[in-house]
Amino acid sequence: MRLDVTDLRAFYASPLGNVTHRIVARAIDRFLGSVSGLRVLGLGYATPYLGTVHCIAERTLAFMPATQGVVNWPGSGRSCSALADLTMMPLPEAAVDRVILVHALESVESPTELLQEVWRVLTPGGRMILVVPNRRGVWARREATPFGHGQPYSRSQLGRLMRSTLFSPEGWAETLYMPPIESRLWLQTVGAWERVGTGLSLPFAGLHVVDATKQLYRPLPVHQVRRAALRAPARVLVPAPSPG
């Protein structure tokens, strides 16, 4: 089930949502790097993470699915948000340099079609930042947060999905080690949870954050190479004529 946009806005306005935003934004920014002069697209409900990007990038867009609903973003000036079918986006090929997916992959009916469409609109060498609930994490089991809805993923599942859609993972991070508990006293310990979880590489982080690059060519499987070699005509050695 996909959350309504009002539920997402309410979560990010709460104390737990504020802490979540701060932690996840730090992980995204670490992979995103400088976006000066680039075109950036946010999919799902990525607007909480596009504020600083919008001030620097050449152009920033935010597409939200109709099943979720859309909000006007940014709050002032010309709107950069729109309703869109995330598997059939109204963009030409190679239109954007960076795509940030938050509350997107876990909620669509066909994750493969979504990533294929992301591949289409990305420029050659363009990058995708993917934020997805961790199947082994506590957050995926708690429906009180947006990350407790939809399909969570293991790291191996994400790897297979990206390889099948021509994305090459370049960087992985796990974040949100703290339990999703709405307590101000508990939220004050978030820094300790993140330091311990990251330092020990604990497996129960709430989210995967993946930096992946668009591949330009589909790699040829080994068995196809071998099959092609077997089908090649055999060389026949013909003895040279004897000197007469």
User: pLDDT (tens digit, 9 = 90+) per residue, 147-184?
Assistant: 999 999 999 999 999 999 999 999 999 999 998 988 88
In DSSP notation, 140-190 reads: GG-TTSGGGSS--B-HHHHHHHHHHTTEEEEEEEEE--S-----HHHHTTH
Separation CA 218–CA 221 (nearest Å):
9
Q: What is the pLDDT of residue 191?
A: 86
Helix (H, G, I), strand (E, B) or coil at 122: strand
Domains of the chain, first to last: 5-217 (3.40.50.150)
Using CA atoms, how far residue 41 sits from 29, 88, 220, 241, in Å, is 14, 14, 30, 70
Sheet holding 96-102, edge to edge: 81-83, 59-64, 39-44, 96-102, 122-133, 207-214, 167-175
Is the omega angle on the peptide bond into residue 203 within 30 degrees of 0, that is, cis? no
Q: What is the pLDDT of residue 223?
A: 46
Q: What is the pLDDT of residue 230?
A: 47
Q: What is the pLDDT of residue 199?
A: 82
Q: What is the pLDDT of residue 240?
A: 54
Tokens at 185, concatenated? 């006293």
Q: What is the pLDDT of residue 219?
A: 52
Tokens at 209, concatenated? 């954050």
What residues contact residue 136 under an 8 Å CB cut-off, 6+ apart?
154, 203, 204
Separation CA 71–CA 79 (nearest Å):
9
Helix (H, G, I), strand (E, B) or coil at 106: helix
Separation CA 197–CA 29 (nearest Å):
19
Q: What is the pLDDT of residue 94?
A: 96
Q: Please give the single-letter amino acid code of residue 126.
A: G
What residues of the chain score a pLDDT lower than 70?
1-2, 218-244
Pairing of strands 81-83, 167-175: unpaired
